[in-house]
């Protein structure tokens, strides 16, 4: 499927989804959100894919919502006095804010944000919604929403405390200050910080390493990680036991055992 605001590439089990509005720093519009929703649905249905990489074209990862009056965003609707208090605006906000973070979080395969520049507002949120983040020295992050008199509606209040802790998350949300790349690495926002010229190679190398792993085990590991955030330890262990019982019956488990005994690299098929 072809998109106007995105580029979706699939190769060797890796889906690379690139936000492609560089003139507007990949700022989000309704069209871009709709296309990203379609792209993530396509990725979710493709059983040959083992990892998703999300990145941006040009100087930015994503500058958040496009606040130009003609951009087709809730911000543009909100300045219209006839729409400010209508259900049209409320429905637009819900469709704009919920879809992408949920789609990234619910995607069964592992996800990597490859952050080439500023990740602001919804851009920061999408990076947080990915399982891992690799960034260059040009990467910088800002919650930003509160500067506009808004709440971080893409899920930052749920995602950020789980990554940096409650106190630091409160600081970043309340002050809406920039977090530069080095601090982002120390806080755990970035898993890895690399030179700008090596970002693509390092990010894709991580993706390839994940893609070579056992797909079913990785998918169930992701599922259990996020389920485990919301349940007690006993329940988490029950979920894990159920997953393990399923995996013992797979061809990939047999292959992994044989490869270990034969001192070779396993070849996983997701069966």
Q: Would the pLDDT of 144 be above 60?
A: yes
Give me the phi and psi of 86, to 5 degrees please.
-95, 165
Task: Please tell me the distance from the alpha carbon of residue 199 to that of residue 204, in angstroms, as a whole number.
Answer: 8
Q: Over range 45-68, report the average pLDDT.
A: 92
Average pLDDT, the chain: 89
pLDDT digits (tens, 9 = 90+) for 168-199: 999 999 999 999 999 999 999 999 999 999 99
- Among the listed ranges 86-100, 125-139, 190-204, 217-231, which one has the minimum average pLDDT value? 86-100
Instruction: Give residues with Cβ within 8 angstroms of 101, minimum separation 6.
Output: 125, 126, 129, 154, 155, 159
CATH number, span 6-211: 3.90.226.10
pLDDT of residue 151: 80
- Tokens 């996020």 sit on residue: 226
pLDDT of residue 233: 94
Task: Please tell me the distance from the alpha carbon of residue 141 to that of residue 183, in angstroms, as a whole number.
Answer: 10
Coil, strand or helix at 163: helix
Q: Are 93 and 204 in contact (CB under 8 A)?
A: no
Query: Could you tell me which of 247, 207, 210, 239 has the C-alpha nearest to residue 223?
Result: 239
Using DSSP bridges, classify how beta strands 140-142 and 179-180 pair: parallel, antiparallel or unpaired.
Answer: antiparallel
Q: Would the pLDDT of 95 be above 80?
A: no
Task: Give whole-number Cα distances, 68 to 29, 71, 124, 144, in Å.
Answer: 10, 5, 19, 16
Report the share of the chain in percent with pLDDT over 90: 69
Residue range(s) in the chain whose domain bears CATH number 1.10.12.10:
215-262
Using DSSP bridges, classify how beta strands 51-56 and 6-11 pair: parallel, antiparallel or unpaired.
Answer: unpaired
Instruction: Give residues with Cβ within 8 angstroms of 254, minimum separation 6.
Output: none
pLDDT of residue 80: 53
Q: Are 65 and 74 in contact (CB under 8 A)?
A: yes
Query: Could you tell me which of 117, 126, 122 has the C-alpha nearest to residue 29?
Result: 122
Q: What residues does 133 pair with on adjacent strands?
A: 113
Q: Which fold has domain 215-262?
A: Lyase 2-enoyl-coa Hydratase; Chain  A, domain 2 (1.10.12)
pLDDT-derived band at 96 (thresholds 50, 70, 90) equals low
pLDDT-derived band at 92 (thresholds 50, 70, 90) equals low
Q: Would the pLDDT of 28 be above 80?
A: yes
Residue range(s) in the chain whose domain bears CATH number 3.90.226.10:
6-211
Of 203 and 102, which is predicted with more confidence?
A: 203
pLDDT of residue 73: 58
Of 93 and 203, which is predicted with more confidence?
A: 203
pLDDT of residue 145: 84
Q: Over range 210-216, report the average pLDDT.
A: 94
Task: Please tell me the distance from the alpha carbon of residue 195 to that of residue 215, in angstroms, as a whole number.
Answer: 30
**What is the separation of C-alpha 161 from the centre of its chain, rounded to a whole number of angstroms?**
16
pLDDT of residue 90: 57
Residue 19 neighbours by CB distance under 10 Å: 26
pLDDT of residue 66: 78
pLDDT digits (tens, 9 = 90+) for 243-265: 999 999 998 899 899 989 998 88
Task: Please tell me the distance from the alpha carbon of residue 213 to that of residue 215, in angstroms, as a whole number.
Answer: 6
């Amino acid at each position: 499927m072809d998109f106007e605001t995105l580029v979706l590439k699939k190769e060797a089990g890796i889906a690379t989804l690139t936000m492609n509005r560089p003139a507007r720093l990949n700022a989000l519009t309704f069209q871009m959100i709709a296309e990203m929703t379609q792209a993530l649905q396509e990725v979710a249905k493709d059983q040959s894919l083992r990892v998703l990489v999300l990145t941006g074209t040009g100087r930015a990862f994503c500058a958040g919502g496009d606040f130009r009056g003609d951009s087709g965003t809730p911000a543009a609707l909100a300045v219209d006095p006839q729409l400010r208090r209508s259900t049209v605006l409320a429905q637009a906000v819900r469709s704009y804010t919920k879809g992408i973070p949920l789609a990234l979080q619910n995607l069964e395969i592992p996800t990597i944000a490859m952050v080439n520049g500023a990740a602001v507002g919804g851009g920061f949120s999408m990076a947080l919604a990915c399982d891992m983040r690799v960034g260059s020295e040009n990467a910088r992050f800002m919650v930003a929403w509160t500067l506009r008199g808004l709440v971080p509606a893409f899920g930052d209040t749920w995602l950020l405390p789980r990554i940096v802790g409650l106190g630091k998350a409160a600081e970043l949300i309340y002050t809406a200050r920039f977090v530069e790349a080095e601090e982002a690495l120390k806080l755990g926002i970035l898993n890895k910080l690399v030179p700008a010229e090596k970002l693509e190679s390092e990010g894709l190398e991580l993706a390839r390493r994940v893609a070579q792993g056992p797909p079913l085990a990785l998918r169930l590991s992701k599922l259990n990680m996020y389920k485990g955030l919301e349940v007690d330890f006993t329940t988490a262990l029950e979920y894990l036991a159920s997953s393990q019982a399923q995996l013992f019956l797979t061809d990939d488990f047999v292959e992994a055992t044989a490869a270990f005994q034969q001192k070779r690299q396993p070849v996983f098929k997701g069966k």
